[in-house]
Structure 1
Amino acid sequence: MEQELQSSHHYIFLVVILLLPLLAVKLRRRNHGKNPPPGPWRLPVIGSLHHLVGALPHRAMRDLARRHGPLMLLRLGQLPVVVASSPDAAREVMRTHDAAFATRPRTATIRELTRDGLGVAFAPHGEHWRQLRKLCVTELLSARRVRSLRRGREAEAANLVASVASLSSAPAPPKPVNVSALLATYVTDAIVRAVVGDRISDRDAFLEKLDEGVKVAAGFSLADVFPSSRLARAFSGAARRAQAHHREMTRLMDGVIEEHRQRRAAGAGNEEEDLLDVLLRVQKEGSLQVPLDMGTIRAVIIDLFGAGSETTATTLQWAMAELVRHPAALRKAQAEVRRVLAGESRVAEDALPELRYLQLVMKETLRLHAAVPLLLPRECQEETRGVLGYDVPGGAMVLVNAWAIGRDAAIWGPDAEEFQPERFEGGGAGAEVDFRGTDFEFVPFGAGRRICPGIALGLAVMELGLASLLFHFDWELPGGAAPEELDMAEGLGISARRKSDLWLQATVRVPVPNI
């Protein structure tokens, strides 16, 4: 009996081996001779959506990629989505075939959010985008322009440490402070100063709408995943929220621009040009081949506010959380800042290049906590063959899982999930790796044509804010909690923000000067 079973198994195995080529031919015919990337099994109508339920998308996609490969095809409703989850796959998307994947998808939600005009972030690849990209690189976000705006950043860093000192010192003993809220305010005010030269009067409403816009842009509505369905469009709540958000954001932006014009008319014309000044000057000169109308100016400013504020604040919060969770790294970073700035009353940007360990802390934070874990989506403009040996269908949304790549043990070693800034020192796994778009093992800002143009501004705001907090204060968890007890859960959104606010106890070590 046992021999018969063994013979039966051998027979079945032989039949399967012989039939495999026929099955492959049949599958190729079903795909019209094409070779799409592999992916998980699908359900009728919803496709692969059930694989993402109950988990953060970047984590769910990382787990699926471990089973199906570094280039994977999902189908979210009617929408084909290709996910790149390795350095080789990221290189194919953002360098080898960069031109084919250089445009942005125009989902129903994005169309509503950008109804008034397109900035650089969501503009399709074309002349409009090329002109705005050139404007960002040469005028708005150049290294020279970022340096010229340092006084505003230093003033907001001084406001940040003054707020921490005030909130934590009264009444005694020191009270815990909401570091998340303080950092969000610091980053927003620093970006606002860079863009419009001063704070804005309706800041709280503006902050609320920025946050709402990030949440709306992050989600997939019914109309996004079933674009051909009139019923989906009719019942898409996200699309209606996007319409309402667009109207309110236009009203707020018009107020910001008018406030800026009145301030300049009142005699503030001798100040350094802020970014809105540059946009209005370029509009007046008419030097762009694409007309710079007010809708486009509003869209560019919203890009600068939304992308710069959300991602920078998120990264700073994670940096502080990781340092508090790793006291040895915190002490090392504080010792460096206080040694370099000994005798100073506050942190000046001139000192930042000397803070080598702090820069390692920022790199390690960006590796573990890519602020936009799936980067901004791209779209395949036409069928593209030979992407890691596969054919990517035209019209597919293309995502790069920067979060998964940054935590890949095959690249970063068995301690890839651990916070170790020293890995970027000489001899470490990341010693020769940088995040400015040339090393595909580390792409928190993307790469290629669509790399984030605001890296210099974001880093300046982050490094100055972190150095200021470490210089003036010692930090610990409230109530004597152990560092390993700190909640490190992520929230759901386009950015991998903390799920809960970061509350810490601050003790002044270097006196905070009066503002």
Structure 2
Amino acid sequence: MADVQGYFILFLISVISTILLPVLFKLSRAKSKPRIPPSPFALPILGHLHLLSPSPHRAFHKLSLQYGPVFRILLGSKPCVVVGSPETAKELFKTYENVFLDRPHNSSMDYLAYGGRGFIFAPYGSYWKFLKKIVMSELLNAKTLDSLLPVRRDEIHRFLRYLSEKAKVGKSVELEGELMKMTSNIMSRMLMSNTCTDEEDDAGDIRKIVTDINELIVTFNLSDHICFLKNLDLQGIGKKSKHIRGRFDALIEKIMKKHEEARKKNEKGEVKDLLDLLLDISEDERMEIKLTRENIKAFILDIIAAGTDTSAITTEWALAELVNHPNIMKKAVEEIEKVVGKDRLLQESDIPNLPYLQAIVKESLRLHPAAPVILRLSTEDCTLGGYHIPAKTSILFNVWGVGRDPSYWENPLEFRPERFEEKQFDLRGQQFQLLPFGSGRRMCPGISLGLMLVHVTLGCMIQCFDWKAGKDGNLTSVDMEEGMGITIPRANPLVCVPVTRLDPIAMSI
């Protein structure tokens, strides 16, 4: 009897093992399998490229409503993860920042940036840290920016004189081009002491090169994203990249040689431009890393490309919002008159005392961020938003989408600067609902200079002029349609007729 019971127990164990063990094995495998982000249906070869119109940041925002704040897409054969909430932004830029300190590359930017020798695209490491040290301690520190204040003031006055001339004859101004010219002149003079006073002048050439670079960047390169097209230049982007870099290289070589000749003759004054500082660093034997000629060229291209159109476009969007909201414009002008008065132009030193003007700029950056999508690259396997992210995955943080999320912003599509009076927000990457300049170690180092230019330019424009929309000044509002670009330009440049309130020429004497 005992033997029968024993055999029966063994039989039950074998049956249970045969049935349950595979189930348990599958469950354990399912439990250990990493949780990957959800993903829309992908097409063969193209992946999710068909979903990215009319613009990637808008498409990402729409997809996040369906798939959540973290989802996976394929750009051709390249895996990417889109992130779109303050919580995941905090993980990306703070909690797991060490994993996301690199940027994804593409072939055209690699070539234009001298193989990643500049500051923006250099991989994180000793060389990038050296460049960051130069940027923060030499190029964009308070002392250097203060010494170059006369340059910024002179170009803003030049811009205001141009507006005054148009106002006298009742002519309209296409503001995108004129703001770009002003910011280009400021960057060129701060960097290399060059101005754009003549048609064939160096700064004008640089502005055209920056425009060509921005147009090239927004062109989707199939060779970068579809593996079997890697070695083909079907769209001619490689050829265009070589042409643009050749033009920039020839121009910057000419400027560098002029600087070097002046340095030998000791002709330059006490106030140095940024190129002089870079040349000083390259000649300093005590530096831990030697700056080469190509390093300097890449560095200058980075600063010009990042600083020229961002400030201009941000100012244009802010003025467009004010034209469409005359009550907000009126309140801003009243603040300026109270703080600055009517006998002098607004200056950089006035900005801390103009909180409503600051709120207008913040609200404009919320709705029209200078960089709508921030790119990062994972350097090792990690977890983001509860999902497994493999190494070498491109991360796309949707700044534009977070700025319009009703979970974090009341009436998010409404232009209401008062929200920033009611609750203080910092733009320096510590409040993750609003990150127009990024966050963490690789956030934009030019934030102070960029914000100063926008505040002063916009403040002076509304201090001195009323603005009538349209070529003939007969429109009651302007459209707010976005164009294509890495900095979201307007689809239609802002055209207005300036009407003089205060004479900027008299006040600038």
Secondary structure of the corresponding residue to residue 474 of structure 1: strand
Shift of 1:499: 1.0
Q: 2:420 aligns with which of 409, 421, 424?
A: 424
Per-residue Cα deviation, 1:440-474 (whole angstroms, up to 9, x for no partner): 11100000111100001111111111111112111
What corresponds to 1:10 in structure 2?
A: none
RMSD: 2.3
Per-residue Cα deviation, 1:118-150 (whole angstroms, up to 9, x for no partner): 211111111111110111111111233222221
Shift of 1:246: 1.4
Distance across 2 between alignment mates of 1:245 and 1:143: 33
CA contact (8 A) 1:118 1:300 kept: yes
What corresponds to 1:6 in structure 2?
A: none
Distance across 1 between alignment mates of 2:409 and 2:36: 29
User: Is the aligned partner of 1:379 residue 2:377?
Assistant: yes
Shift of 1:236: 4.4
What corresponds to 2:467 in structure 1?
A: 475
User: Is the aligned partner of 1:143 residue 2:142?
Assistant: yes
Q: 1:408 aligns with which of 402, 405, 408?
A: 405
Distance across 1 between alignment mates of 2:342 and 2:85: 47
Length-normalised TM-score, structure 1 = 0.88
Secondary structure of the corresponding residue to residue 493 of structure 1: coil
User: Is the aligned partner of 1:216 residue 2:209?
Assistant: no
Output the amino acid matched with 2:378: C
What corresponds to 1:115 in structure 2?
A: 114
Shift of 1:280: 0.9
Output the amino acid matched with 1:380: S
User: CA distance change for structure 1 residues 294 and 304 in 2, over 3 Å: closer, same or farther?
Assistant: same
State how 1:28-427 maps to structure 2 within 5 Å.
33-52=33-52, 54-115=53-114, 118-170=117-169, 174-199=170-195, 201-226=201-226, 228-230=227-229, 233-262=232-261, 268-375=267-374, 377-384=375-382, 386-413=383-410, 415-426=411-422
Q: Higher Cα Rg: structure 1 or 2?
A: 2
Name structure 1 gaps, 5 residues minimum: 1-21
Distance across 2 between alignment mates of 1:189 and 1:393: 44
Distance across 1 between alignment mates of 2:272 and 2:152: 15
CA contact (8 A) 1:36 1:393 kept: no
Distance across 1 between alignment mates of 2:495 and 2:49: 35
User: Is the aligned partner of 1:448 residue 2:447?
Assistant: no
Distance across 2 between alignment mates of 1:99 and 1:271: 40
Per-residue Cα deviation, 1:322-381 (whole angstroms, up to 9, x for no partner): 111100111111122223222433232222222221111111111111111002x21111
CA contact (8 A) 1:37 1:73 kept: yes
Secondary structure of the corresponding residue to residue 365 of structure 2: helix
CA contact (8 A) 1:109 1:238 kept: yes
Secondary structure of the corresponding residue to residue 418 of structure 2: helix
CA contact (8 A) 2:342 2:502 kept: no
Distance across 2 between alignment mates of 1:275 and 1:480: 41
Distance across 1 between alignment mates of 2:431 and 2:487: 22
CA contact (8 A) 2:467 2:497 kept: yes
Length-normalised TM-score, structure 2 = 0.89
Shift of 1:110: 2.0
Per-residue Cα deviation, 1:410-443 (whole angstroms, up to 9, x for no partner): 1011x111111110013xxxx1321101111110
User: CA distance change for structure 1 residues 146 and 513 in 2, over 3 Å: closer, same or farther?
Assistant: same
Q: How many residues align?
A: 480
Identity of aligned residues (%): 32
Shift of 1:290: 2.3
Shift of 1:262: 4.8
CA contact (8 A) 2:359 2:418 kept: yes
Per mean C-alpha deviation after superposition, the further-off stretch among 59-68 and 344-353 is 344-353
Secondary structure of the corresponding residue to residue 342 of structure 1: coil
User: CA distance change for structure 1 residues 360 and 268 in 2, over 3 Å: closer, same or farther?
Assistant: farther
Shift of 1:218: 3.1
Output the amino acid matched with 1:505: V
Distance across 2 between alignment mates of 1:152 and 1:265: 24
User: Is the aligned partner of 1:437 residue 2:434?
Assistant: no
Shift of 1:109: 2.1
Shift of 1:271: 3.3
Distance across 2 between alignment mates of 1:195 and 1:148: 12
What corresponds to 1:489 in structure 2?
A: 481
User: CA distance change for structure 1 residues 139 and 365 in 2, over 3 Å: closer, same or farther?
Assistant: same
CA contact (8 A) 1:168 1:177 kept: no
Shift of 1:247: 1.4
Shift of 1:508: 0.9
User: CA distance change for structure 1 residues 264 and 290 in 2, over 3 Å: closer, same or farther?
Assistant: closer
Per mean C-alpha deviation after superposition, the further-off stretch among 276-285 and 336-345 is 336-345
Secondary structure of the corresponding residue to residue 495 of structure 1: coil
User: CA distance change for structure 1 residues 217 and 32 in 2, over 3 Å: closer, same or farther?
Assistant: farther
Distance across 2 between alignment mates of 1:151 and 1:259: 22
Output the amino acid matched with 1:154: R
Shift of 1:308: 0.6
CA contact (8 A) 1:160 1:186 kept: yes
Shift of 1:205: 2.1
CA contact (8 A) 1:105 1:124 kept: no
Secondary structure of the corresponding residue to residue 232 of structure 2: helix
Shift of 1:282: 0.9
User: CA distance change for structure 1 residues 40 and 230 in 2, over 3 Å: closer, same or farther?
Assistant: closer
